[in-house]
Amino acid sequence: MKYLSITLVLAGLAGCSDGPEAADVQPLVEDSLRSGIVHARSMAETLGGADGVAFIESLGAPEPADVQVEHVQILDSRELDHGDYDLDVRYDVVVGDEREVVSRRLRLNETADGWRLVPAPSR
């Protein structure tokens, strides 16, 4: 019985992945969303000056710091041949009192500095 327990523990450990975890994904998604807002505001300012920024604000564009990502769940994780990981994830995007649940596929690559989002090829 003792050997069976040890075998089960070792088999369980062998099945563990060194892939990204939800705690790795959360700041990457949050930074990506915030960067998108900064980029949109910059484009609006470039194209329309102060009026462009006022217009994008009138559409309800939040301040980047107001965007939060919560409750990240990794629904599926696949390691690719070259070491990247494709993840199917679900998370909440929270801005003020509004919350939206998002499901999407992400591709992550591990670097010396940690995980990073990388563009995935179109399907």
Whether residue 5 has pLDDT greater than 60: no
Q: What's the predicted TM-score (pTM) here?
A: 0.79
Residue 25: name the closest of 116, 121, 122, 119 by CA.
116
In-domain check, residue 9: no
**1 band by pLDDT with thresholds 50, 70 and 90:** low
Q: Give yes or no for a contact between 34 and 101, defined as CB atoms under 8 angstroms apart.
A: no
In-domain check, residue 46: yes
In-domain check, residue 24: yes
In-domain check, residue 37: yes
Domain residue limits at 86: 19-113
What is the DSSP annotation of 68-123? Answer: EEEEEEEEEEEE-TTS-EEEEEEEEEEETTEEEEEEEEEEEEEETTEEEEEPPPP-
In-domain check, residue 120: no
In-domain check, residue 119: no
Indicate the number of domains in the chain: 1
In-domain check, residue 14: no
Element (H, E) at 56: helix 22-58
In-domain check, residue 5: no
Q: 7-31: per-residue pLDDT in tens? A: 444 444 444 457 999 999 999 999 9
